Chain A
Amino acid sequence: MHLILFLGFGAVCVAGAVNLLVQRHPINSALSLVVVMGALAGEYLLLGAEFLAAVQVIVYAGAIMVLFVFVIMLLNAGVEERTKGSRIALLFGVPGMLIGSVLVAWVLLTHSNTGEVAVGALPGPPKVIAQLLFHEFLLPFEVTSVLVLIAIMGAVVLASKPGPIPPGKKEE
């Protein structure tokens, strides 16, 4: 049962990912990514990470992807045209990636003596996560909050329209 569910969600993930590659319009790719994230949330649930599944849907799919869709619509990105690509990417990147992934898959399937995971294997309610977050991981937590603050400020500055040049600064 566990396996069937896993394969189901996994198939949806992979389909969404391949669709993201295939689609020419970025909005279609963005929506495929949302599908992937939803399926991933299902995987997390299978592993017993409920809090994380919820956060994935709320934050990742619900906020970040929405941001992406907003930008795509703001910039009126159209179907991407065929222009000259990079030979390097085709020559090195794709084979490299293929080889890398084949290697990893081979290793995973044959050599790794990892065990099996049960459904809901991860312990604990969100309370335990919160305790971890605020005890051992307090410093990263605070630092990431500062990081988010900086990101907000950066985004505001970068995306704002350049304002009128104050008088007297033109000679500099």
Chain B
Amino acid sequence: MTNSLNLWLIPLLPLIGAAINGLLGKKFSRQTVVSVALAFCGAAFAMALFVAARFSSLTLPHIESVAPWIRVGSFQVDFAFYLDQLSIVMLLVVTGVGFLIHIYSVGYMWEEGGFYRFFAYLNLFMFFMLTLVLASNYLLMFIGWEGVGLASYLLIGFWFTKDSAASAGKKAFIVNRIGDFGFLIALFLLIKHFGSLNFAEVFQSIAPLPPEAAAGTLTAIGLLLMLGACGKSAQIPLYIWLPDAMEGPTPVSALIHAATMVTAGVYMVSRSHVIFDRAPSALAVVAIIGTLTAFFAATIGICQTDIKKVLAYSTVSQLGYMFMACGVGAFSMGVFHLMTHAFFKGLLFLAAGSVIHAVGGEQDMRKMGGLRTKIPWTFWTMTAATFAIAGFPPFAGFFSKDAILWQAYSSPYGSWVYWLIGVITAFLTSFYMFRQWFLTFFGEYRGEAEHEHDAHGTGHDSSSHGHGGIHESPKVMLVPLVILAVLSVIGGWIGSERFGGFLAPVFHFALPAAASGHSEPALSEGVLTVISVLVALLGFGLAWLLYYRRPQLPKQIAQALGSFYDAVLNKYYVDEIYATLFVKPLVDGSTRILWHGVDQNVIDAGLNGSADGAREVSDTVRHMQSGNLRSYAGWIAAGAAVVIAYMIWMGTR
């Protein structure tokens, strides 16, 4: 730690912005709110760039301890920040994409109520996310972890007067909490077995340990950490909150549910790679969950009709890819895909927001179409993003996704099964993304925004827009789109080898001798790459056929598939299954046992009962106060007789 970089400033600046906007923003004009929010977020971005510029001169990992926090015996946790290659990548992604989305939100939310509240929450989210990324110990990371969950709840339920939005916010928070429970238990296990939560100390302690053959402490910790990641990064079985989270404003979906918060799980797993490397069973679970989720979400995505829901399921699917990468030991490839995904998925959401803004609030793709000529800027940026996510070279997604698929196939922890499912998922990804592309931008316009429309207002402003007709978004919204489009194109050109090499020192604790008995991969990387591109083209072709050439085909296919199609359309009824299995028994049990049984029958009854009992006793006793002197005399005599008898009895014993 030669000279201090004042890392603590990076999370603090957005917090100040959140405080100013949150406490005073009601009185500010919109311009002031915007200036404050953008200034502080931009300052954080600038500091991140400054740190990046100084990066090569630092000894890594660079740890800055700001203040002591918990000192109990030998257990010590400080407010400390940790900088290494992984952190700098995350830092730049979070601050950069975050700043662009802040700029975009200015235009998107301009006519909404609660303007200052939105930017306060956005800045608050930035604070927590930066804390998570820069934390030097698991406890500070957990604070950021919980905090982004909180910010997510606040932002999803931004239009809280709408029932579905409020419920979606609650759902997100509660499902996240389930994951957090696993994370917490993992923290407890870490404290118990390694006596510390600081990254440096924990990793030093774990490094000399051999990989566990059977399930042991490290496997338990790994599985519990993965549970936390499943909650935060929306993997099976805790992905259900992400599609509902689309109730929030589109910039929120872009920032939190595409670029940053959901990637916190991947970051955490990568950061804890030392643990996972020595727990092969946990690593396998990670890979299996990632692969299954990727495939599962992709199958749901192909039937969705809401433009944002398609992107939501796509996010779940792409996160599955990242976990697949981590699960086969290719953590740096997972992070690479994280970076490119932030670019193109963020861009996809922002462009979708632009489309929604253009058609006056409509989100159903079946009512769109032919927008290509009317909103060209949005069209071209979204095209770039769609090609990127589908994995066409030379766009960004191709490099990262291909690297993951290759690692899934060839890594000592990988297997051709992961690769095959990954390839099928890539096909589905390409298919549903281009389906969305064709439905939205090509063909005839099927909606109503051309005429003076009445407010549909599903999600966007519900007041009358007053613009009339389909129009391009203002420049403040388009500039971030363009920047992200450029990044989507060139973002992968750094190449997976160079990226992996950059991150290599982080993962150098890694991989002790791999599992023996793994033979040389049969196919070479080149062949696999060609297969990936072919699959992407196949998806494009099928989408072109079904949604451009013969638009009546999809309906026929859907009818032919009958109930299977219905199941997929209804997300395999997962929400309903959860409701029956978990939610309803919990609510019923809570109502019957805790509310009726304990609260009403025990606590209330006890209280009322004691009051009633006191009343009854006094009712009985008051008859003694009859005012009748002689009854008093009678009682006195009787009492005296009792006392005398007692004394005699005592005397004669």
Contacts and interface: CB of A to CB of B under 8 A. Distances in A.
Interface of A: 85-93, 96-97, 99-100, 103-104, 107, 111
A-B pairs with lowest CB-CB distance, top 4: A86-B630, A89-B634, A93-B634, A88-B631
B652 interface: yes
Contacts of A100: 640-641, 644-645
B634 A99 contact: no
Contacts of B631: 86-89
Given A85-B630, A88-B630, A89-B630, A103 B644 contact: yes
A118 B633 CA distance: 38
A103 B634 contact: no
A96 to B, nearest CB: 4
B648 A93 contact: no
A92 B648 contact: no
B635 interface: yes
B637 interface: yes
Interface in B392-451: none
A66 B387 CA distance: 126
B638 interface: yes
A111 B633 contact: no
B625 to A, nearest CB: 12
6 contacts: A86-B628, A88-B630, A92-B634, A92-B637, A99-B645, A103-B648
B645 A93 contact: no
Interface string B18-32: 000000000000000
Contacts of A104: 644, 648
Nearest to B645: A103
A59 B277 CA distance: 110
A99 B630 CA distance: 19
B409 to A, nearest CB: 100
Nearest to A85: B630
Contacts of A99: 641, 645
A89 B637 CA distance: 9
A144 B427 CA distance: 113
Contacts of B637: 89, 92-93, 96-97
A70 B634 CA distance: 28
Contacts of B634: 86, 88-93
A93 B633 contact: yes
Name the residue in A91, A93, A107 with the highest tally of chain B Cβ atoms < 10 Å from its Cβ: A93
Contacts of A103: 644-645, 648
Interface string B614-641: 0000000000000011110111011011
B178 to A, nearest CB: 68
A111 B257 CA distance: 97
Contacts of A96: 637-638, 640-642
A37 B637 CA distance: 23
Nearest to B639: A96
Contacts of A93: 633-634, 637-638
Name the residue in B633, B635, B637 with the highest tally of chain A Cβ atoms < 10 Å from its Cβ: B637
A29 B314 CA distance: 110
A134 to B, nearest CB: 34
B626 to A, nearest CB: 8
A89 B641 contact: no
Contacts of B642: 96
A107 B647 CA distance: 12
B452 to A, nearest CB: 81
A111 to B, nearest CB: 6
A124 to B, nearest CB: 31
A101 to B, nearest CB: 9
Contacts of A97: 637, 641
A96 B636 CA distance: 10
A93 B628 CA distance: 14
Contacts of A86: 628-631, 633-634
Nearest to A92: B638
Nearest to B633: A89
B453 to A, nearest CB: 81
A92 to B, nearest CB: 4
A85 B633 CA distance: 12
Nearest to B629: A86
B110 to A, nearest CB: 74
Contacts of B633: 86, 89, 93
B638 A111 contact: no
Name the residue in A96, A103, A104 with the highest tally of chain B Cβ atoms < 10 Å from its Cβ: A96
